[in-house]
Amino acid sequence: MGRGSGQGQGAVSAQRSFDAAASRAGSFAESHGHVDAANVFLNQQRHQISMAERQNQYNIASVNMNNFLRGAQKAGATFKGRVYRGTTAAELDQIRATGRNSTTWSVSKDPEGAAHFAKKGGVLLKFNKNSGTVPVDNIRGSVTYNEGLIPRGTSVRITKEYTRNGVRIVTLERDE
């Protein structure tokens, strides 16, 4: 459902919180010169950057975006609510082995935003709160909707796992 379309009060409140964090992130990107880096990552080279990160190759666009994300986190431009990421068993194994994400994670405020990827990859990651997600919807030029990013190398731990309808659901907490 879209914004304001019969959502429960909790969903409306979460949307307002997400939008406020997105506004702070957009302002941070503007005031600290990160708009171009964000647009390269979000709109121009996302696939190439993702491939480089998965192969652990140096990529300046990834470095620039992650510098923005960490700066935005320090400035308080994060969404504190629940976020989701659909992924694969291989990425879950990597998390188990290292306790960190090896790529810049795209996450959704809404479970529906991650559902396709969870069904395809077999795993749904869920943060209940304080994931460090930086919403990117209000960065000038962004064409995202309810999307946030978590910087590469974020330390996480698994707190709960279960399977529902053939999808492994894994709850994570960020180690700070």
pLDDT of residue 11: 78
Contact call for residues 101 and 62 (beta carbons, < 8 A): no
Region 109-134 average pLDDT: 94
- Is 50 exceeded by the pLDDT of residue 73? yes
| 12-23 pLDDT, tens digit each | 899 999 999 999
Considering the chain, what is the average pLDDT of its residues? 93
CATH topology of domain 9-174: Toxin ADP-ribosyltransferase; Chain A, domain 1 (3.90.176)
Q: How far apart are CA 134 and CA 76, in angstroms?
A: 9
Q: How far apart are CA 114 and CA 108, in angstroms?
A: 6
The H or E element containing residue 171 is strand 167-174
pLDDT of residue 85: 97
- Is 60 exceeded by the pLDDT of residue 2? no
CA distances to 2, 15, 37, 83, 127 from 130, rounded to whole Å, are: 24, 15, 24, 9, 8
Q: How far apart are CA 151 and CA 59, in angstroms?
A: 14
pLDDT of residue 7: 55
Q: How far apart are CA 96 and CA 63, in angstroms?
A: 24
Contact call for residues 69 and 106 (beta carbons, < 8 A): no
Location of structure tokens 């010169």:
33
pTM, to two decimals: 0.91
Q: What is the DSSP letter of 104?
A: P
Q: How far apart are CA 24 and CA 86, in angstroms?
A: 26
Greater confidence (85 vs 176) lies with 85
How is the chain split into domains, by residue range? Answer: 9-174
Location of structure tokens 């188990």:
96
User: In the chain, pLDDT over 90 holds for what percent of residues?
Assistant: 90
